[in-house]
Structure 1
């Protein structure tokens, strides 16, 4: 890193709080089910990254971009997630997942919620189990984002596999 590094501290030591860790254990169990689903691993990471960009979650962006690179994802694709509509590096299935992620993350911003068009496009590319995993993954990453953003969890220190 160039220049002077900034120290950022979370509002609460989430990882040192017994009650928070009990809740995290259950959230992480749900995450493990999704990781083992047939929804492609690359798609899962793209979904986590896009929702985390929208929500401004530094810890999740740090974690999921590093985990994706560690798993062999192309850094150019990761750099283009925020501009996926104009990027040529995503499959039609990934684009459908990213659209559903955006709409599912921005429910409060869209009076109608997730559009029928976005859902129909996702249905073209994913089977029922994959759709269930996709919807649950969007909800789960938004849960993680909301905890981390509320607590101002810093990003930048994560090491791939750290929370495995």
Structure 2
């Protein structure tokens, strides 16, 4: 499979995507644990069917020390015993925000309150930004049919 557009070679795409990437780096500096961030990025990508991002964030998480067991269980996090309460709150917020059109009124108050119990304001901003940014990246990659499997950790650093 070949992508409909080569986003990595197009100068306009490069200008746009560098802002998305900068937002992700700023969010990383807010104190949200990297493991939580990668789990969130992976879960949203799974929901959105973005093979490129599933590949990328699985590899990035593993490269950062995440265990294979936890990565394999992200899609079934509710049934798994390997996630902390904070990670569960982040994953629930991710699912609700990614599927925002499915629920009248958006993210339920109890989901937000649970996340707010585990993360300070800066971490919540980082979590919201990570969820919003990965959803944008997922949609871009799905639209252009970005193929999965070729990414290597650190490739876009």
Show the counterpart of 1:98.
91
Structure 1: gaps (5+ residues): 1-7
Match of 1:46 in 2: 39
In the alignment, structure 1 residue 19 sits paired with structure 2 residue 9? no
Q: Tell me, what secondary structure is at the counterpart of 1:16?
A: coil
- Greater radius of gyration (CA): 1
Q: CA separation in 2, counterparts of 1:13 and 1:58?
A: 16
Partners of 1:51 and 1:24 lie apart in 2 by 18
Counterpart Cα distance in 2 of 1:128 and 1:66? 29
User: Pairwise mapping of residues 60-139 of structure 1 onto structure 2 (< 5 A)?
Assistant: 60-139=53-132
Length, aligned pairs only: 157
SS in structure 1 at match of 2:78: helix
Unaligned ranges ≥5, structure 2? none
Q: TM-score, normalised by structure 2?
A: 0.98
- Aligned Cα RMSD in Å? 0.7
1:26 offset after TM fit, Å?
1.1
The residue number in structure 2 matching 1:3 is none
Q: Deviations over 1:36-82 (max 9, x none)?
A: 22000000000000000000111111111001111110110000000
Q: For residues 123 and 31 of structure 1, what CA distance do their matches in structure 2 show?
A: 20
